[in-house]
Structure 1
């Protein structure tokens, strides 16, 4: 007989073990589970649903709501997120996933949520959405449960073994520098400006990646900035998420500065410094394939390695 309850201390070992059986494309270890789930400021054990056959854990689904605002006072009080779910293949088609989701919906309704997303949660998402290629059964389950696509996104990788700065990029860099633009590594005096710029022009998660990454060991040498005279107009970095040095991003240039190929220059400078650091690759999890950034990445040699779909369910 299958029984259900919420997370209890000690479940994490069984959850990680079954996770790695079910989600082979996205394995995790106890250290990452602790950091991304248990130590997340928004973690609530009532949102982590588990299914058991006797004492054996056979399924899990994690839902959460924001307790700590990402920026200023915004708690996104209408939204909830599911960041992972799985059921042991030996227990498929017994309604376990459906029951886990129903219990999560009850959790969300208690907190007056109107929309559930899989799985575009910041800061500690595992994947940005459902990967239909690697988890077709899970994608069909979400569809059958009333989740609809919000937008697709892609992960990309770039091998750096053959990377070098092209003559065109070097020429563009010289031209922009003559116009008063400065491209350089960040210093302590840049940090407030960069974090505010990331928060207000782009995404508060980007500012958080810098603010939290540096105390956790992110070197300033991995952060690039662009100034137009005294005004900060762009930045990019690598190693900001989970301390993984070859994970590129975040990366943004002021929309008012479009058309000057500042992003192209900045991206190439950062990739070159990554190669100089001894890294053999650069990758990231999330961009729009047909967005301006997506086109820039492709032109710089990045290739799509996975495709995800952010989906939502209205309660």
Structure 2
């Protein structure tokens, strides 16, 4: 039987959820998590989310999204992709992707990427254990350009507090505290200069109760922050975190990291995930973090 391709509809959610549960063998989906990935995407658009059906059964799913004008470049993404194991190697992923690429070309997208969607993502690339996904990327003309990794922290092996350092910072007029609703506007202005793409994740962290953001204030002004539970609901996800360039090296990052890890531990998590990591040595030194997963990043340039 041949397959047909159509756009995603809300009524398809439960069947897509089952498909993703079965396809992502090294990950686990909950309905809450999948709902966040689809509907909480800041540029959610069902016109660029595709399904493949055989008869009335959904056998393929591909979610596209965009992030326009990131430092002058328009990016398109394959955010999620799943094909039933019994229907792989039948051109289903290709059929869905080609429709997505054609549509995004018409929207003036310059570069396509796989998975690593700023603001709301599931994985920062492709876990190479999903070997069919790697093969798909290469067949579709994508080139591997970088690797990244997720770290994991054992939350049970220590108390996540450094009161001595907090007191030392206080003597320098730096206060460490949980962000409040009244801090939100100042926090958004603070991150706008250097980390504008993180504003959306901080918006999500502000929705937690209590707010899942800790800040360091110099003379009452926010100069550093750390957050958790800002992406991938139901998972023990840390980040983002940032410190004003003029105040780096004072130890605020360590204290803010510990505050978030303590939150996650108190929530009942045994481990914390530090995703899409740059400074591995910082997290290894201060939290005993180890590399848990590696991701290969792929892109395809649609324009010169």
TM-score (normalizing by structure 2): 0.86
SS at match of 1:101: helix
Does the C-alpha gap of structure 1 residues 254 and 127 become closer, same or farther in structure 2, counting only changes over 3 Å?
same
Give 1:219's aligned residue: 210
> Does the 8 Å CA contact 2:32/2:233 hold for their aligned counterparts?
no
Task: Pick one of 187, 191, 199 that aligns with 1:198.
Answer: 191
Quick one: distance in 1 between partners of 2:247 and 2:32?
A: 41
> Aligned-pair distance for 1:130?
0.7
> Aligned-pair distance for 1:83?
0.4
Question: 1:42-81 to 2 correspondence within 5 Å?
Answer: 42-66=43-67, 78-81=74-77
Gap regions ≥5 residues in structure 1: none
Task: Pick one of 268, 288, 294 that aligns with 1:307.
Answer: 294
Does the C-alpha gap of structure 1 residues 275 and 17 become closer, same or farther in structure 2, counting only changes over 3 Å?
closer
Output one character per residue of 1:207-244: Cα deviation in whole Å (capped at 9) or x when no partner. 22333443x33313x42211222332111122333554
Question: 1:29-178 to 2 correspondence within 5 Å?
Answer: 29-38=30-39, 40-66=41-67, 78-132=74-128, 134-164=129-159, 171-178=164-171
> Does the 8 Å CA contact 2:149/2:293 hold for their aligned counterparts?
yes
Give 1:296's aligned residue: 282
Output one character per residue of 1:146-171: Cα deviation in whole Å (capped at 9) or x when no partner. 212343221122112111358xx555
Question: 1:200-279 to 2 correspondence within 5 Å?
Answer: 200-204=193-197, 206-214=198-206, 216-220=207-211, 222-241=212-231, 244=234, 246-276=236-266, 279=269
Quick one: distance in 2 between partners of 1:30 and 1:162?
A: 31
Quick one: distance in 2 between partners of 1:9 and 1:174?
A: 52
Q: How many residues align?
A: 300
Quick one: distance in 1 between partners of 2:28 and 2:182?
A: 38
Does the C-alpha gap of structure 1 residues 111 and 248 become closer, same or farther in structure 2, counting only changes over 3 Å?
same
Gap regions ≥5 residues in structure 2: none
Quick one: distance in 2 between partners of 1:143 and 1:81?
A: 15
TM-score (normalizing by structure 1): 0.84
SS at match of 1:84: strand
> Aligned-pair distance for 1:313?
0.9
Q: CA RMSD in A?
A: 2.7
SS at match of 1:286: coil
Quick one: distance in 2 between partners of 1:5 and 1:273?
A: 43
Output one character per residue of 1:219-277: Cα deviation in whole Å (capped at 9) or x when no partner. 13x42211222332111122333554732222111122122222123223433454456
> Does the 8 Å CA contact 1:46/1:107 hold for their aligned counterparts?
no
> Does the 8 Å CA contact 1:47/1:64 hold for their aligned counterparts?
yes
SS at match of 1:131: coil
> Does the 8 Å CA contact 2:48/2:65 hold for their aligned counterparts?
yes
> Does the 8 Å CA contact 2:120/2:231 hold for their aligned counterparts?
no
Does the C-alpha gap of structure 1 residues 270 and 85 become closer, same or farther in structure 2, counting only changes over 3 Å?
closer
> Aligned-pair distance for 1:39?
5.1
> Aligned-pair distance for 1:41?
4.4
